[in-house]
Structure 1
Amino acid sequence: MMDVERPVASPCVSVCALDDADICIGCQRNVEEITRWSRMDNRERRHVLSLCLERARANGQLLIEPTKSF
């Protein structure tokens, strides 16, 4: 039996508002990343999550470091 990987979950936290750079203040994704999410494969989604983490760190919005990889 083939092992099927579950889709990587969306980082959406239902705080949907764009900042001046068009980055969502809730999930740290840009508009393209948000609209393409459902069509991305898991490799692309993991890449977007790493970008979100970098953005949160750069903006001082990361309160705790994640302990689990995505």
Structure 2
Amino acid sequence: MTDDIWKRAEIESPCTKICQIHPDTRLCLGCARSTDEIAGWSQMSPEERRAIMEELPNRQPAPTKRRGGRAARLKRMK
């Protein structure tokens, strides 16, 4: 299998091919872009894309705190 379809020399992209949107943050778990950023990526200027790409390392696409696990489930069942 080749990745030719994913390579577009004219548009730099942070896509990692792990395309899943987190329900709480609404960010992609692979690249940390919002759905609006992903949808508009090809229409953005190179400067707009670079500005977003500079922000991406600072974004948390998914919460790092656990939601409670077994203890939270047991508490809800009471």
- What's the TM-score, normalizing by structure 2? 0.59
CA RMSD of the aligned region, Å? 1.9
Whole-angstrom CA distance in 2 between matches of 1:50 and 1:26: 15
Distance across 1 between alignment mates of 2:29 and 2:19 = 7
Counterpart AA for 2:30: G
Between the aligned residues of both structures, percent identity stands at 34
Alignment: residue pair count: 53
Within 1, Cα distance between the matches of 2:21 and 2:38?
11
The two structures have a TM-score, normalised by structure 1, of 0.65
Unaligned runs of at least 5 residues, structure 2: 1-8, 65-78
Show structure 1 runs of 5+ residues with no match. 1-5, 61-70
Whole-angstrom CA distance in 1 between matches of 2:55 and 2:37: 10
Q: How does 1:10-21 map to 2 (within 5 A)?
A: 10-19=13-22, 20-21=24-25
Structure 1 counterpart of 2:50: 46
